[in-house]
Amino acid sequence: MRRTRTLALLAAALSAPALTSCGGENETQDEGLRVLAAGGISELAFISRPKRTSVGDVFQYTSFSVDPKSANIMRMRTVSGGGEAEPITPFGTGEWPNADIMAMDVSFDGQEIVFSARLETDATYNLYRIKIDGTNPEEPGKKGPELIHSGPYDSVYPVYLPNDRLFFMTNETEQEGIKQFRDEYERGLTAQAATIDKRGGSLQFGPRNLSHRVSPTLVSLQDGRGQILHTNWDHLTNVNEGNLMVMNPDMTGGAEFFGKEGSGLANSYLKARQVNESQFLAIATSRDRTFQSGAIILIEHGKNEATSTAEALTPDVPLDREPSYDKIGRYYDAYPVTNDAGKLTHVLTSWANGPVQSDVAAGGMNEEGVDYGEGAGPPDFGIYVLDPKTNGRLPVYNDEDMWDVLPMAIGRSRPVPTAPAGATAQTPDGTALIGALDVRQSSLGGAPADGIFRVRVIEGFSAEEGIPNDFGLSEADGALLLGEAPVVHQGDHSFAAFVPEGRPIHLQTLDAYGMSMLNEDRWFSAAAGEQRFCGGCHEERGKTVTVDPGLSEAMGNGPANLALAYADRKLPDAETADWSGMMGKLIDPADPTFTDAPRVRGIPWDLAVQSVLDDAGCAAGGCHDGAQSAANPCVSITNDMPAGEPPAEPITWCLDLRGEKIDFTYGMMTGNYTRSHISMLLMSGMTGEEDVEIENLDPARPYQAYMVPQSARDSILIKYVQPEQVFPTRDPSKLAFAGELKVNGEAYAPSHPNESTPGFDAATHRALTAEEKYLLIVAADLGGQYYSLENAPGQSGYGN
């Protein structure tokens, strides 16, 4: 049955008067079908699933509803005046229960569909295949889908690959007993890459991101090279974006595609589709509240992100999470309709009129005080053909009870791309090889070009490791230091390292003091035996399509082996560890003084950082002890309260480097951390907060950002302690911040404390050693976390 909502028709009529002035509903509908037929689409399929209000977030992949009826995949002809939409899948009929269907893909020959559905009797989404005539591919002639992958995990976003394989996203992990990453912010189990034989065998898991990956599609790049284009949630410290990335069909070779480096238009891009060799459609929108819909953009893909551009084909549609407008609405997806030359002529799309925003849909007052009354209800996505030149929409199909989404051509074949595999290398068991030919090469403007001595490799983890939802006042995820690989600084400036397979890592280039110079704020990972060698650090990839690591001096010297077995990621006996010795070994592994020191992993604040502060007497002898004094800048923190509410009591906080945890006075304000942690991270933690008044009690002694997550260089604490040169050789006479001025205009002293420091007592206070300074640098550059695996709460018995 073909149904077209009057409102949608009205919207189309108003936005495309030339089309609708010629006739009524059926005529405009038939016109849409004729456009599709002219574009070579004789049949299309789409998902018809119940409307809902619970799926505002673009990374939400488990929203479920079968109310008022089951979802199904529908089939519709476009030629000969079109036809009624008929279900391909049987859900809600006969022996088949109601189901929700969240994504699908069409086979290369156009005769089969793979989809992800959750039956109402189930708790998870599973993978199925079905012929477009509704029969089972493995039971010829019998109606119904073939179940190919199930279990107590969600298997979503399936995509056909060459060689009878399927790509999909799953929250299953490869090994029992290891929990899937759980995003500490959104709290969802993360969706990760996997492939499987189309009959259900040979399941393989890809290297993992620390957050979700969603909305994949198979595209064909240069020379027919198949790549999986998908949305990657880049969520690292203050970065929170959904960008487009590609990977090989074997899940190796992940690389940026669009959206990073300031090349994009919005916060998130999803549901990308290939138009031709260089152009791609995608939906651009906010991360949340927009029902995974937004503006349609046309991406012109350049040599890399920095040279890629995008044009909004629907410029009136908001790119943020604000409500859209009547007759403007938002688009859920975009499937290209092209001419014989491969140029985009129209877009087959799902569109809903109105705000298409979750606040408005649900009603009530939003957080900014706008009252949406009873609410508009969920948006109503229907199938349309969009003319990108006029933004006129021709209606094709709409069931008012359902979201009619993700239309795709069926019944026609498409070329099968090749399935390139990532470069491989001889690596120790469980590791991959990473490196760069020249760390000075970068497409990032202003990136360091010299003085790079090491590359720091940091592994990420999240709350699934038993750290209760928070790693400290920092926004950073859990971090452990895999190690620091040397850069051939007197040669070709290359580096190479073996790193654990499949675990999310990010990199920093280090200066002569061990401080991060360039912090790559994106996670990446590599498969076992994979070789991920770049020309530079974020170099222009168009310059280095192929690199030969064998040519690098770092490979000639032998890669640094940063392998670390999963079970060994936590330092045993961290309570009694020699943290200075560990840092000494990190700085110079050949130094015999530190031969017996264990390897650095996490930096547990209360054990490692606090031991430095305590041993140097920082909080002793009337110094940084939280008392309001010359040594301790103080701030007053007050929450602005709305009219009618009693004013909030100001909270005063003074610099305090003691190791005691805070008392209840501050318990509603912040986490259960030591005073030193709160003191160091307080200011960076409050950056960006609204309606919080922060007043320095003594403007001449302002409270400062003593530790800036992932930037030791910008941390006031580090400036005070004056890191000394450690690379390429130790030289205590060369100081990182010599001559740099403090906020009061005085230069930072060569050491702190020193004999001229007020209150200095040589019996109590001392300057830090090079190893202690390095520990503070590492703590800051890792992210300023309080918790690591070593001090996860409750690990040494109930109640601690």
Partner 1 sequence: MQHRNRTPMVLGLALALGALLPQVAEAGKGSSYQSIRNAIGSNNRDTILAEIERAEKLPCGPCFELVMPLVDHADPAVRDVAAWWISKRAIREQVRDDMFARLQGSDSVAARNAAEVLGRFMHPDALMPLELAIHDDGLSEEARAAAATAVGTIGDFRGKDVLEGAVTSESAAVRAAAAKSLREIRGNVDAVAVVDLLSDEEESVVREAVLTVGALREAAGLGALSDVVRDNTLSASVRRDAAWALGKLGDGAAREVLTTVSREDKSMLVRGAARAALQTLR
Residues 690-749 that bind partner 1 (CB under 8 A): 690-692, 710-711, 713-714
Dist. CA 142–CA 107, nearest whole Å = 19
Nearest by Cα to 633 from 692, 693, 697, 694: 697
CA distance 252 to 527: 6
The verdict on 627 binding partner 1 (CB under 8 A) reads no
In the complex with partner 1, the residue whose CB is nearer, 24 or 793, is: 793
- Binding segment (CB under 8 A) for partner 1, from list 71-79, 540-548, 609-617, 792-800: 792-800
DSSP state of 497: E
In angstroms, rounded to a whole number, what is the distance separating the alpha carbons of residues 168 and 417? Answer: 17
In our burial notation (b when 16+ CB lie closer than 10 A, e otherwise), range 579-588 reads bbbbbbbbbe
Q: Using a CB cutoff of 8 Å and minimum separation of 24, what contacts does 592-600 make? A: 598/571, 599/483, 599/564, 599/571, 600/481, 600/571, 600/778
Exactly one of 265, 479, 603, 777 binds partner 1 (CB under 8 A); that residue is: 265
Tell me the residue ranges of DSSP E strands in 569-650. 634-639
Whose Cβ is closer to partner 1: residue 401's or residue 691's? 691
Q: Is 445 one of the binding residues for partner 1 (CB under 8 A)? A: yes
Of residues 34 through 63, those in contact with partner 1 by CB under 8 A are 53-54, 56
Query: Do the beta carbons of residue 483 and residue 457 sit within 8 Å?
Result: yes
Q: Are 342 and 275 in contact (CB under 8 A)?
A: yes
Distance between alpha carbon 604 and the CA centroid of its chain, in Å? Answer: 25
Helices marked H in 384-508 — which ranges?
A: none
Q: Using CB under 8 A, which of 47, 467, 554, 631 touches partner 1? A: 467
Whichever of 341 and 664 has its CB closer to partner 1, that residue is: 664
Nearer to partner 1, 35 or 458 (CB): 458
Among 333, 359, 380, 501, binds partner 1 (CB under 8 A): 359
CB of residue 199 to partner 1, shortest distance in Å: 5
Q: Which is nearer to partner 1, 340 or 645 (CB)?
A: 645
H helix count then E strand count, the chain: 10, 39
Specify the stretch interacting with partner 1 by CB under 8 A; choose among 79-87, 105-113, 131-139, 406-414: 131-139
Nearer to partner 1, 113 or 612 (CB): 113
Residue 312 sits in the site that holds partner 1 (CB under 8 A) = no
Binding to partner 1 by residue 240, rule CB under 8 A? yes
* Residue 172 neighbours by CB under 8 Å, 6+ apart: 151, 153, 155, 180, 194, 205
Any residues with CB less than 8 A from the CB of 544 and at least 6 apart, and which? Answer: 437, 534, 535, 536
Give the interface segment with partner 1, choosing from 154-162, 426-434, 617-625, 684-692 (CB under 8 A): 684-692
In the three-class reduction of DSSP (H, G, I as helix; E, B as strand; rest coil), residue 72 is classed as strand
Which CB, 326 or 450, lies closer to partner 1? 450
Residues in the chain, how many? 800
Least distance (Å) from partner 1 to the CB of residue 368? 6
Between 326 and 640, CB nearer to partner 1: 640
Q: Is 10 in the site for partner 1 (CB under 8 A)?
A: no
When the beta carbons of 111 and 238 are compared against partner 1, the nearer one is 238
DSSP string, 736-780: TTTT-B-TTSPBPPSSSS-TTSTT--TTT--PPPHHHHHHHHHHH
Strand partners, 454: 486, 510
Residue 368 near partner 1 by CB under 8 A: yes
Distance CA 359, CA 366 (A): 6
Site residues for partner 1, window 68-97 (CB under 8 A)? 95
Tell how far CA 784 is from the center of its chain. Answer: 20
The Cβ of residue 374 has, within 10 Å, a number of other Cβ atoms equal to 8
CA–CA dist 9, 14 (Å, integer): 9
> Which of 7/686 has CB closer to partner 1?
686
> Given the rule CB under 8 A, which of 69-77, 366-374, 557-565, 743-751 is the region that contacts partner 1?
366-374
Strands 495-500 and 560-561: parallel
By C-beta, is 95 or 596 nearer to partner 1? 95
Please pick, from the candidates 27, 84, 164, 320, the single residue that binds partner 1 as defined by CB under 8 A.
Answer: 320
Task: Please report whether residue 266 would count as binding partner 1 according to CB under 8 A.
Answer: yes
CB of 245 to partner 1, least distance (A): 16
| Least distance CB 270 / partner 1 (angstroms) | 14
The only residue of 217, 267, 304, 431 in contact with partner 1, by rule CB under 8 A: 267
Q: How far is the CB of 624 from partner 1 (least distance, A)?
A: 21
CB of 288 vs partner 1, minimal distance in Å: 6
Q: According to the binding rule CB under 8 A, does residue 363 interact with partner 1?
A: yes
- Least separation in angstroms between residue 667's CB and partner 1 is 4
Q: Does 661 bind partner 1 (CB under 8 A)?
A: yes
Interacting residues with partner 1 between 143 and 202 (CB under 8 A): 144-152, 176-179, 185-187, 197, 199-202
Q: Which is nearer to partner 1, 2 or 199 (CB)?
A: 199
For residue 224, state whether it binds partner 1 (rule: CB under 8 A).
Answer: no
Task: Give the full edge-to-edge strand order of the sheet including 86-87.
Answer: 86-87, 72-77, 43-50, 402-410
User: Contacting partner 1 (CB under 8 A), which of 10, 38, 79, 203?
Assistant: 203
Residue 118 CB, shortest distance to partner 1, in Å, is 11
Nearer Cβ to partner 1 (243/398): 243
Question: How many residues bind to partner 1 according to rule CB under 8 A?
Answer: 129
Q: Could you give the string, one character per residue 639-658, with x where binding to partner 1 holds by CB under 8 A and - elsewhere? A: xxxx--x--xx-x-------
Q: Which residues contact 619 (CB under 8 A, 6 or more apart)?
A: 613, 625, 626, 656, 657, 658, 659, 676
CB of 240 vs partner 1, minimal distance in Å: 4
User: Cβ of 279: how many Cβ atoms within 10 Å?
Assistant: 18
Nearer to partner 1, 24 or 728 (CB): 728
Report in angstroms how near the CB of residue 505 gets to partner 1 at its nearest: 16
Q: How far is the CB of 197 from partner 1 (least distance, A)?
A: 6
Cβ closest to partner 1, residue 369 vs residue 592: 369
- State CA 144 to chain mean position distance: 37
Interface of this chain with partner 1, residues 555 to 574, rule: CB under 8 A: none
Q: Least distance to partner 1 from the beta carbon of 603, Å?
A: 19
* 553 CA to centre of own chain: 33
C-alpha 187: how far from chain center: 13
Closest approach, Cβ 151 to partner 1, in A, equals 5
Burial class (CB in 10 A: 0-12, 13-18, 19+), 400: middle
Of the candidate residues 250, 305, 333, 475, the single one contacting partner 1 (CB under 8 A): 475
Q: One symbol per residue from 496 to 525: x for binding partner 1 (CB under 8 A), - otherwise; what is it?
A: ---------------x---xxxxxxx----
Find the binding residues for partner 1 in span 413-432 (CB under 8 A): none
With beta carbons less than 8 A apart as the criterion, state whether 261 and 305 touch.
yes
CA distance 65 to 101: 9
When asked if residue 543 is in the footprint of partner 1 (CB under 8 A), the reply is: no
Among 15, 358, 715, 791, binds partner 1 (CB under 8 A): 358
**Minimum CB separation from partner 1 for residue 68, in Å?**
20
Distances (CA, A) of 421 to 131, 250, 251, 330: 29, 6, 8, 37
Q: How far is the C-alpha of 140 from the C-alpha of 751, rounded, in Å?
A: 80
Binding residue for partner 1, selected from 367, 374, 429, 746, defined by CB under 8 A: 367
Residue 243: C-alpha distances to residues 270, 433, 660, 766 (Å): 8, 25, 42, 48
